């Protein structure tokens, strides 16, 4: 064997067998298709396009999934994580409830409505899903520090997951974040750093730091291709919980747009693998008007998403330059959906409507989803007779400041039955 050949052999061994990331086989560019071996890379060396995980799925059946744990790890055969991914029973995200929302359906004039309530995750938002997958991949890729720039929920999820894994964490947030999201991150005692600037400034800083610190896994920067795949579990769960079928319409909040594109990917994968019948579905995107670059591009008929400076109470969605914006437009247009945006006042109405009808207290992102659904129904874009799912991605306890001026006790009274009767008008 010539030395040339053996170099190639070693290279191959390093690049294809070095990591066990389950069914993941390579990273491929979403723009030009260029493929590279699995690694902590996120941008294509040929065209700077975003990299995405490519798979070679094994034999996956409904039964094999149903036999798995009641967490996102039941879908491990569809995720870029080691086959023996470490589980922490009772603290893993996923298998949150899918609620038949008849009272909200009646209020919205819909025939059949479900709410996917992702407030039930360990740190009360869907971000626990993406972080769990990022951590599992990062561990296999050799990292020992978990980091992120965050609009709040990701900060919670990274700090908590790192604490549970015994890793150090470095979390960067805009300094004007909701107090509750700061405290519920700080309590895990990682390195939480508040930055004077908006999320897009913080994200730029993180990209710079990721280049400097090769042992830091910035979940949504240098290990973003793996992280992003975690959002597929939302789509898988909705389909499984509906009894192994796809909904006809789904409304998804959009920040970077990653979640929306991955739920769409999950539905397509389930169809291609024969786990569900590949019935048509429409994907709808929801934004706050104060940060609506994707909605603006959709309504203007553009392919390019022009960055904006965010100004909205929906801070978890306040990404002015959404990385996956163009792919959101693709998914929405391909499926016949739409993207719409709602004002901050409508967001608060959405939060209150969901709470009043279903007993679910969502954060501002949930208010965006509910209010956008209402607007799309009124505009005739959401079909009231087609089965609809709303993704409620975060918990209202973290964004109390959004509602505190509008809600409170009906009255403050002395401890007497007469005073209660008077308040209730009996
Ligand atoms: C991050 C976030 C989203 C949106 O996620 P993207 O994948 O960036 O679009 C939605 N809802 C909540 C509560 C979030 O924290
Ligand atoms: Zn490329």
Model pLDDT for residues 42-53, shown as the tens digit of each residue: 999 999 999 999
pLDDT of residue 90: 64
Interval 95-132: pLDDT, tens: 999 999 999 999 999 999 999 999 999 999 999 999 99
Confidence bin at 8 (pLDDT 50/70/90): very low
Cβ neighbours, 10 Å, residue 413: 12
Torsion of CA 210, 211, 217, 220, to 10 degrees: 60
Q: Is the pLDDT of residue 16 over 70?
A: no
241-251 pLDDT per residue, tens: 999 999 999 99
* Burial group, residue 36, by CB count within 10 angstroms (0-12, 13-18, 19+): middle
Per-residue model confidence as pLDDT tens digits over 70-102 = 999 999 999 999 988 877 666 799 999 999 999
Segment 31-43, tens digit of pLDDT:
999 999 999 999 9
- Tell me the CA distances in angstroms from 148 to 44, 121, 142, 157, 189, one per residue in order: 21, 19, 17, 10, 15
* C-beta separation of 201 from 195 below 8 A: yes
3 state SS of 1 = coil
User: H-type helices in 73-148, by residue range?
Assistant: 102-108, 127-140
* 258 CB near ligand 1 (under 6 Å): yes
Tokens (6 digits) for 372: 């956008």
Instruction: Report residue 277's pLDDT band, with 50, 70 and 90 as the boundaries.
Output: very high
CA of 181 to the centre of ligand 1 (A): 14
Q: What is the pTM of this model?
A: 0.94
Q: What integer pLDDT is reported at residue 89 of this predicted model?
A: 63
Tell me if 315 sits within 8 A of 367, measured CB to CB: no
**Ligand having the closest approach to the CA of 45:** 2
- Distance between Cα 63 and ligand 1 center (Å): 31
Choice from 50, 119, 125, 260 to test ligand 1 binding pocket (greatest atom count within 8 A of CB): 125
> What is the rounded average pLDDT for all residues in the chain?
93
Per the rule left: phi > 0, alpha: psi between -120 and 50, beta: everything else, 110 is: beta
Confidence of residue 419 (pLDDT cuts 50, 70, 90): very high
Regarding the beta carbon of 393 and ligand 1, being less than 6 Å apart is answered yes
**What is the predicted pLDDT for the residue at 14?**
37
Whether the Cβ atoms of residue 52 and residue 80 lie closer than 8 Å to each other: no
Say if residue 3's pLDDT is above 90.
Answer: no
Per-residue pLDDT of 166-198, as tens digits, reads 999 999 999 988 888 899 999 999 999 999 998
Please choose, from the candidates 53, 230, 247, 226, the residue with its C-alpha nearest in 3D space to the C-alpha of residue 125: 230
The 8-class DSSP code of residue 49 comes to: P
Distance 305 CA to ligand 2 centre (A): 19
149 in ligand 1 pocket by Cβ < 6 Å?
A: no
- The domains of the chain, with CATH numbers, are 98-124+231-402 (3.40.50.1100), 127-225 (3.40.50.1100)
Taking only the tens place, the pLDDT of each residue in 296-355 is 999 999 999 999 999 999 999 999 999 999 999 999 999 999 999 999 999 999 999 999
Average pLDDT over residues 398-424: 94
pLDDT of residue 111: 98
């Amino acid at each position: 064997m010539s030395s040339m050949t053996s170099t190639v052999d070693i290279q191959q061994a390093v690049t294809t067998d070095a990591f066990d990331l389950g069914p993941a086989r390579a990273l491929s560019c979403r723009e030009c298709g260029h493929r590279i071996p699995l690694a902590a890379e996120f941008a294509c060396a040929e065209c700077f396009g975003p990299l995405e995980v490519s798979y070679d799925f094994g034999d996956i059946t409904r039964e094999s999934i149903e036999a798995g744990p009641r967490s996102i790890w039941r879908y491990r055969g569809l995720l870029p994580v080691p086959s023996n991914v470490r589980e922490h029973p009772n603290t893993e995200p996923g298998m949150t409830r899918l609620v038949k929302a008849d009272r909200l359906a009646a209020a919205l004039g819909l025939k059949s409505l479900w709410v996917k309530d992702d407030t039930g995750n360990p740190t009360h938002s869907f971000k626990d899903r993406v972080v769990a997958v990022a951590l599992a991949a990062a561990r296999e890729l050799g990292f020992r520090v978990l980091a992120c720039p965050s609009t709040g929920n990701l900060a919670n999820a990274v700090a908590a997951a790192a604490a549970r894994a015994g890793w150090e964490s470095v979390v960067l947030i805009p300094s004007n974040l909701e107090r509750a999201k700061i405290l519920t991150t700080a309590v895990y005692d990682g390195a939480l750093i508040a930055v004077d600037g908006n999320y897009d400034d913080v994200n730029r800083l993180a990209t710079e730091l990721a280049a400097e610190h090769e042992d830091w896994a910035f979940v949504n920067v240098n290990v973003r291709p793996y992280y992003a795949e975690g959002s597929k579990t939302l789509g898988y769960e909705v389909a499984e919980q509906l009894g192994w079928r796809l909904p006809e319409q789904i409304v998804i909040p959009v920040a970077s747009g990653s979640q929306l594109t991955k739920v769409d990917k999950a539905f397509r994968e389930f169809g291609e693998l024969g786990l569900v019948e590949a019935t048509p579905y429409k994907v709808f995107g929801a934004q706050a008007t104060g940060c609506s670059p994707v909605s603006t591009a959709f309504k203007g008929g553009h392919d390019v998403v022009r960055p904006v400076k965010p100004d909205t109470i929906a801070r978890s969605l306040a990404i002015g330059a959404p990385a996956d914006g163009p792919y959101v437009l693709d998914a929405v247009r391909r499926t016949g959906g739409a993207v719409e945006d709602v004002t901050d006042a409508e967001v608060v109405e959405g939060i209150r409507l969901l709470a009043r009808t279903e007993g679910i207290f969502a954060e501002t992102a949930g208010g965006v989803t509910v209010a956008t659904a209402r607007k799309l129904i009124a505009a005739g874009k959401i079909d009231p007779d087609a089965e609809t799912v709303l993704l409620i991605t975060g918990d209202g306890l973290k964004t109390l400041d959004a509602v505190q001026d509008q809600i409170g006790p009906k009255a403050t009274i002395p401890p007497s039955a007469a005073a209660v009767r008077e308040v209730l008008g009996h």
